[in-house]
Structure formats: structure tokens, C-alpha cells
Amino acid sequence: MLHELPLVIFTIFAQMSVGSFVALGVIQLLGARVPAGTMEKVTRPALYAIGPLLVLGLAASTMHLGSPLRAPNAILHWQESWLSREILLGIAFLVLGAAFAITEWFKLFHFRLRQALAAATAVVGLLLVYAISQVYSLRTVPAWATSFTAIRFFTTTLLLGGLAVAAALVLTAFFRVRKGDVDESAMRLLTNSVRGIAFASLLLMAVKAIVWPFYTSWLANHPEPAAQESLRVLYEQYGVWSGVQAAAVLLGLALLGFLLYRLSGGHAGRRLLPTIALVTFAIVFIGEFVGRMLFYVSMVRTGI
């Protein structure tokens, strides 16, 4: 499993970075009528908190070639190659993300213009995730040549990015309450944002739990022997790790439900919420990381 670790890191962190931009973008879109000062008070600390994550994700989006010197040659085939499109979108995501970070850090241009830049970065990021999913949708690998590959990549993107932002927001609220800095409008926006992310994540985890049996049934009934071999690898050779992933999904569902329950009783700065949010993120991250490693070991080509 470990020989694919660089690709696991690339896909997980690049997708988590995209998901963070999407989560922050949705917060700003739904809070379009919120005063700019209030919005910045909520999202700026979260941006700083997930800054290292975004840097890792942006950097990871440039690592997929193995050698940057191969990029010019690969880009020339963008009209017929998903790998070339992935490279171009990765570069665009890197440039837009860096531009947004610089303008946000130095407060350059109008707030709404920075919002538009963040939205553009999120859109390009989603296109990048789709391109990555298409790169892996190889006809010669039945376990990958399915819409489940795209579903898996997009759920990872939205889950990890959203929960990273939610954890950062909860920590921000907690420390502000401890300092006595309680801005009611900012706290309301922050709490509603965390509640929305938790609910959306609960739905995404439910989708993962529902779709997986259909995927394994599809592999079991696939006409290609390579599909059955992939299933054997997942449940016999790496059965323990498949169990770890399933346990992480179930535990993640329970923790997200508990987080929503705790949020129903007050604002996001309450005690225990930071611990719950961080543990939830950690459990889901472990599950997604293990799941991505299993994705790579399931690669069995037809005719082999």
C-alpha cells in the first residue's frame, strides 16, 4: 500500500484544499448581505487556520507529473488528454489560489472582488477534481472505470475541505468567547456556517455508506475477472483496512450527529465543541486516507 503514498498525499491534500475554498465560498455566497467587516471577522481567522492546508494542497497540485520538466510536453495535448487538462487546471488553481491569498493577506482591492477571486478559485478547483477523476477512469481497470471514482473524489473534496473549515471556525469561536470578544452577528454567522457544514457532511457520509454496497455488488457481477480480483484484494488481502475505513465512516456519522446536537443548544463557542469538531475531522480524514490507499491497491488491469 505504501508505494502509492505520494499519489495518496497528492490527491487527498489537493482535494481538501479545493473543498476548503468551496466551503469558504459558500459561506460568503450565502452571507452576501452580511456586512463585509462581519464576514471578514468570521472567514479570515479560518483562512489563517487552514492556511498550511491550502499551501500543501496547492503545492500538491503541482506534484502529479513526477518531473515538472514534463509539463510543457503534456500540456500540448490538452485537447485529447485528461492528464494535460489536469496539469493546466492544477496550474490555474495554484495561480488563482496564490493570488487570493496575497490579496486577502494584504487586503488588496475591494472585499467583493476578493470574494469573486475566491469563487473563481473554487470553480477551477472543482474542475481540477473532475479532471483527476477522469485521469483515473481507465477502461483497462474495471474498479476505476466507473462513476464511483468521481463520486469518491468529490465526496472527499467536500467532506475534508468542509470539516477543516468547520474545525477552524469552531476554534475561532471558542477562543473569542474565552477572550470575551462576543460579536453577536459574527457568532451567529459562524454558528450557522458550522451547522450547515456539519449537516452537509452528514449527508455526504450517508451517501458514502449507501453507495459502497452498490459499488461492491457491481464489481462482483462485472463480466471482467479483473473486477472480481479487485474485490478479493479489498476484502481478503486488505480486509482489515477495509474494516478500518468502514468503522471510520460509521464513527464519522455518529460524531457529526453529536456535533449537530451540541450546536442545537447554543453558539459554536461552547465548551467541548472544539474537541468534537477536531476529533470528527481527524476520524473522517483517517477514513478518507485509508480509503484512498485502498483505491490504489484495487487497481487490477484486464488481461493480467
How many domains is the chain built from? 1
Q: For residues 114 and 103, is the Cβ–Cβ distance under 8 A?
A: yes
282 found inside a domain:
yes
pLDDT at 86: 84
| pLDDT at residue 281 greater than cutoff 90 | yes
| Rounded alpha-carbon distances, angstroms, from residue 31 to 25, 28, 42 | 10, 5, 11
- Residues 114-134: what's their mean pLDDT? 90
104 found inside a domain:
yes
Q: For residues 248 and 286, is the Cβ–Cβ distance under 8 A?
A: yes
302 found inside a domain:
no
Q: Which three cell numbers stand for residue 149?
A: 471514482
Q: How far apart are CA 280 and CA 251, in angstroms?
A: 8
How does pLDDT run across 68-79, given as a tens digit for each residue? 555 566 566 667
31 found inside a domain:
yes
Q: For residues 93 and 128, is the Cβ–Cβ distance under 8 A?
A: yes
Q: What CATH number has the domain bearing residue 23? A: 1.20.1630
304 found inside a domain:
no
Among the residue ranges 94-108, 143-157, 262-276, 290-304, the one predicted with the least confidence is 262-276
122 found inside a domain:
yes
Using alpha carbons, select from 283, 216, 282, 224 the residue that is nearest to residue 249.
283
| pLDDT at residue 67 greater than cutoff 80 | no
pLDDT at 131: 92
pTM of the model: 0.89
The parent domain of residue 147 ranges over 2-297
182 found inside a domain:
yes
Contacts of 126 (CB under 8 A, 6+ apart): 18, 22, 154, 157
303 found inside a domain:
no
In the block, cell 449537516 appears at 199
Count Cα atoms within 13 angstroms, Cβ side, for 93: 33
Q: How far apart are CA 100 and CA 113, in angstroms?
A: 10
How does pLDDT run across 84-116, given as a tens digit for each residue? 888 888 888 888 888 887 887 787 887 778 888
